[in-house]
Amino acid sequence: MSSFGWSWQLEWQSPCEFHAHLINRVIVDLKTEFQRIMVVEFATYGKALIIDGKIQSSVADEFIYHETLVHPLLLSIENPKNVLILGGGEGATLREVLKNNLVEKATMVDIDKAVIDFAKQYLTEWHQGSFDNKRANIVISDAKKFIDNTTESYDAIVLDLTDPIKGNTSYKLYTKEFYEEIKHHLNKGGAIVTQATSPSFSLDVFSTIMNTLRNTFKLVSASIVYVPSFDGLWGFVYASDYVNPIVLTRDQIDKKIKERIVGELRFYDGETHNTIFNIPKHIRKVIQQETRISTENNPIYVPA
């Protein structure tokens, strides 16, 4: 045809908004038992993982998401020896956890073996061999089932889960019941973090996750980052009865990074800590006024 054309990724944030990204090459596109997974090469963001049609992360900026998920939590814990990761199939969360030299064991639980095999084959830039690290322990299981059955307890639990979506079961992993349950698997001094969806595209979900954790733990704080390939903000909530990353000063962060982190961080440091843990007034107001709690009977969902 006499037209110019290519493949694009079109993502709707709502029926009234979408973002379009040019795809230079589709590296793989396959269906697993649980989902459709693609690896593409975006013109702007390079290699990227797309699950069920939604961009999960790109090589150009995944470090923003994964460093923010992991390091404020682990640096705020006195001795994060034993870490549990629920989800995080691409292996980048595991990679960041293992950068912390106090971590002796990192157990990663993912439901979909195909995703992990897939990551090993196609997402080397993400896991960078972490799956084979001798401190890493990979478990294929439903996160909920794993928690129901494990007797082990942890210094840190990282929830790197797909968004709470009506119809799939991930929404249960954002409820007060589940948070109560994992709380019993935390050691003294321990803390958890969860990705908390986008304050740009689902602010009510972000604030409800925050409020649900406020009603489960004594100390709760949130961070917000901008992720270019999402064209929007992303949120994280940290919760504990003992520690809170928000109280760490710029200098304390920089000192702890020197002491504990093997290798370089590209996004997170003392100054970045200040920009992500201080919340803009209009968003802060929504968080403060949020009263909703996500429960199994009355869960919160992102717009499907």
Annotated binding site for spermidine: 66, 90
Rounded to the nearest angstrom, the gap between the alpha carbon of residue 176 and the centroid of all alpha carbons in its chain is 18
Tell which positions 238-277 bind a second copy, by CB under 8 A. Answer: 265-269, 271-272, 274-276
Which position among 189, 232, 241, 246 is part of the footprint of a second copy (CB under 8 A)? 232
Q: Of 13, 3, 154, which is closest to residue 86 (Cα–Cα)? A: 154
168 Cβ partners below 8 Å, 6+ apart? 162
223-228 contact pairs (CB < 8 A, 24+): 223/68, 223/72, 223/276, 223/277, 224/199, 224/276, 224/279, 224/280, 224/283, 225/64, 225/65, 225/68, 225/267, 225/276, 226/64, 227/61, 227/64, 227/65, 228/45, 228/60, 228/61
Which position among 118, 154, 179, 201 is part of the footprint of a second copy (CB under 8 A)? 201
Task: Please tell me which residue in 61, 160, 163, 231 is annotated as part of the active site.
Answer: 160
Which position among 9, 58, 175, 207 is part of the footprint of a second copy (CB under 8 A)? 9
Tell which positions 19-78 bind a second copy, by CB under 8 A. Answer: 19-23, 25-27, 29, 31, 38, 40, 42-44, 50, 53-56, 63-64
d(CA 200, CA 197): 9
Q: Is residue 101 part of the contact set for a second copy (CB under 8 A)? A: no
Contact string (CB under 8 A) for a second copy, positions 142-181, x = contact: ---------------------x------------------
Is 160 one of the annotated active-site residues of the chain?
A: yes
Q: Which residue lies nearer to a second copy by CB, 17 or 117?
A: 17
Which position among 172, 255, 284, 292 is part of the footprint of a second copy (CB under 8 A)? 284
- Residues forming the active site: 160
